């Protein structure tokens, strides 16, 4: 399942309910979002919840964002969610190196977190917030 959110108030609401109000292993909070929203313009939130690898989820979210905004992103905030009984392994995180490296080469500000979520359909979900 893929969800795309483009209205700024909905992006903010999604961040509050899907990130701020949840506990995380690597926790993002309201200050993280507020800092980026003051520096950049929030333009889109995408969440991808499919039965594919973590790197594929991330690439899919980035592809959706790039197709829609047609501008250079200034920053992203990414939250990786996992089911309680399906914890994230180190090798899965290693798969994200190429993706993060390409973003860093394009001078994209990257902030990410990891949290448990029992409301996801598959074992992993990536929620990405894009800023211009």
Q: Is 8 exposed, middle or buried (0-12, 13-18, 19+ CB in 10 A)?
A: middle
Give the integer Cα–Cα distance in Å for 20 and 17. 6
Whether 46 and 61 have beta carbons less than 8 Å apart is answered as yes
pLDDT in tens, 72-109: 899 999 999 999 889 888 888 888 988 899 999 999 99
Residue-level pLDDT at 25: 87
pLDDT at 70 over 90: no
pLDDT confidence band for 17 (50 / 70 / 90): very high
Give the integer Cα–Cα distance in Å for 45 and 4. 6
pLDDT confidence band for 118 (50 / 70 / 90): confident
Residue with tokens 């200050």: 31
State the chain's mean pLDDT as an integer: 93
Which among 32, 1, 3, 4 is positioned nearest to 16, based on CA atoms? 32
pTM as predicted: 0.92
């Amino acid at each position: 399942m893929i969800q795309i959110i483009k209205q700024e108030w909905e992006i903010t609401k999604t961040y509050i309910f899907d990130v701020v109000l949840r506990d995380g292993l690597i926790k993002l909070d309201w200050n993280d979002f507020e800092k980026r929203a003051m520096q950049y313009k929030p333009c889109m939130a995408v969440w991808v919840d499919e039965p594919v690898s973590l790197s594929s989820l991330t690439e899919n979210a980035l592809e959706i964002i790039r197709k829609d905004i047609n501008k250079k992103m200034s920053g992203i905030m990414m939250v990786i969610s996992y089911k309680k009984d399906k914890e994230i392994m180190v090798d899965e995180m290693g798969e994200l190196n190429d993706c993060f490296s390409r973003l860093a080469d394009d001078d994209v500000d990257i902030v990410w977190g990891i949290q448990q979520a029992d409301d996801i359909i598959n074992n992993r979900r990536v929620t990405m917030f894009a800023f211009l």
